[in-house]
């Protein structure tokens, strides 16, 4: 008998464009039973292309199961709005993919689209990252031997129907959390003038070095840190090295903790960008899926940062880890812990060399214990 199916799809790009992959899951919409897992690397592509490729794979797999209807759930606002007909498909790379997806939709009895928070799309996101990880090792992704059926997705609450976010249930912790101390790097010449500083690589200035040393004293006095993990960028690594020296530890580098790539906007102030790129700035401010010219979107940043978090939690279960990074990655981690929407990035403020603390359970649930603490910088704040 034909049945109602739910497709969850996701895609990611490490560099946007960069090495990319997608993941898709097909479930029985009534029981939540896992029916299909699909994932693949697609070479160099943008995040949006990877998202569409995940949708295509999920729809094709659903069609093979002869459904009575299909609900597609994705965390890509762009894909959901374009496939729902509310947004125009303007980019040439998207038009062909959107047309292919539309043809698949027409071949099915009934298809609906629903935007969901990234945290509710973790299975497809994991598959996409598995595919990219396998490709990086020169391998092809293969499905797990046996996948446990997932519980049925809850019906949307009145809040979610109205466009809000329903509450996430709470359960007892499965074990001790991994505690992440989130440290923003110290001051650089670009941060003095409030210029966009992404994957450009300025050194700490004199005040930045002093901030790093003061933070190291604070962290060493607190004790209990088991590992220090840093972004590869010099301003973060130097800040991490000061703390590691005080703790008697080595600095491990996690590339995905780097700052967002601001592309052509690197080194410019907000006002200068608004004058030179008014339309691009307006689009960027309106959607986390939009990247600066030649740069990376906040959505793409979140994909890699949360993948880095997952690696840290799995590597250091139940331990305390100092993560030294930048504004966007730290905001992303706090937002994820709060289960807040992407717009929350614009509602969070981080000072230079500030500390935040988040506990993470193995399943991804987070608890914020401290945010933007600069008490260790008395007399040093610029």
Q: Which of 133, 110, 100, 118 is nearest to 8 (CA)?
A: 118
188 membership: H or E segment, kind and range = none
List, in order, residues 6 or more apart from 338 with CB less than 8 Å away.
Answer: 344, 366, 368
Strands 355-360 and 178-184 turn out to be antiparallel
* Dihedral sign (CA 117, 71, 151, 20): negative
Judge contact between 343 and 356, C-beta under 8 A: no
Instruction: Give CA–CA dist 102/89, Å, rounded.
Output: 12
Instruction: Give CA–CA dist 326/350, Å, rounded.
Output: 9
Instruction: Give CA–CA dist 224/239, Å, rounded.
Output: 18
Instruction: Give CA–CA dist 33/149, Å, rounded.
Output: 5
Q: In what side-by-side order are the strands of the sheet with 111-115? A: 34-45, 18-28, 4-13, 69-74, 111-115
The residues assigned a catalytic role are 185, 259
263 membership: H or E segment, kind and range = none
List, in order, residues 6 or more apart from 147 with CB less than 8 Å away.
Answer: 34, 37
Instruction: Give CA–CA dist 213/217, Å, rounded.
Output: 6
């Amino acid at each position: 008998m034909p049945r109602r199916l739910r497709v969850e799809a996701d895609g990611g790009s490490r560099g946007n464009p960069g090495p990319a992959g997608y993941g898709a899951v097909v479930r029985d919409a009534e029981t939540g039973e896992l029916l299909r897992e699909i994932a693949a690397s697609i070479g160099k592509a943008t995040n949006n292309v990877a998202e569409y490729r995940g949708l295509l794979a999920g729809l094709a797999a659903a069609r093979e199961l002869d459904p009575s209807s299909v609900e597609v759930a994705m965390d890509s606002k762009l894909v959901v709005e374009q496939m729902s007909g509310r947004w125009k498909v303007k980019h040439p790379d998207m038009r062909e993919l959107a047309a292919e997806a539309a043809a698949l939709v027409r071949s099915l009895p009934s298809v609906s689209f629903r935007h969901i928070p990234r945290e509710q799309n973790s299975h497809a996101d994991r598959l996409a990252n598995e595919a990219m990880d396998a490709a990086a090792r020169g391998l092809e992704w293969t499905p797990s031997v046996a996948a446990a059926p997932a519980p049925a997705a809850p019906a949307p609450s009145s809040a979610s129907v109205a466009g809000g976010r329903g509450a996430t249930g709470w359960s007892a912790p499965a074990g001790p959390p991994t505690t992440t101390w989130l440290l923003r790097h110290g001051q650089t010449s670009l941060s003095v003038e409030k210029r966009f500083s992404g994957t450009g690589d300025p050194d700490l200035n004199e005040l930045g070095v002093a901030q790093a040393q003061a933070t190291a004293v604070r962290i060493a006095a607190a004790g209990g840190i088991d590992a220090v993990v840093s972004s590869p960028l010099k301003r973060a690594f130097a800040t991490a090295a000061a703390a590691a020296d005080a703790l008697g530890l080595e600095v491990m580098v996690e590339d995905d903790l780097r700052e967002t790539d601001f592309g052509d906007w690197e080194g410019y102030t907000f006002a200068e960008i608004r004058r030179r790129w008014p339309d691009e700035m307006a689009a960027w401010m309106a959607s986390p899926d939009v990247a600066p010219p030649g740069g990376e979107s906040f959505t793409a940043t979140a994909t890699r940062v949360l993948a880095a978090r997952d690696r840290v939690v799995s590597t250091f279960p139940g331990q305390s880890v100092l993560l030294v990074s930048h504004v966007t990655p730290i905001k992303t981690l706090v937002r994820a812990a709060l289960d807040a929407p992407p717009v929350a990035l614009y509602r969070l403020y981080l000072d230079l060399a500030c500390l935040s603390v988040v506990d993470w359970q193995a399943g991804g649930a987070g608890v914020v214990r401290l945010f933007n603490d600069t008490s260790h910088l008395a007399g040093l704040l610029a």
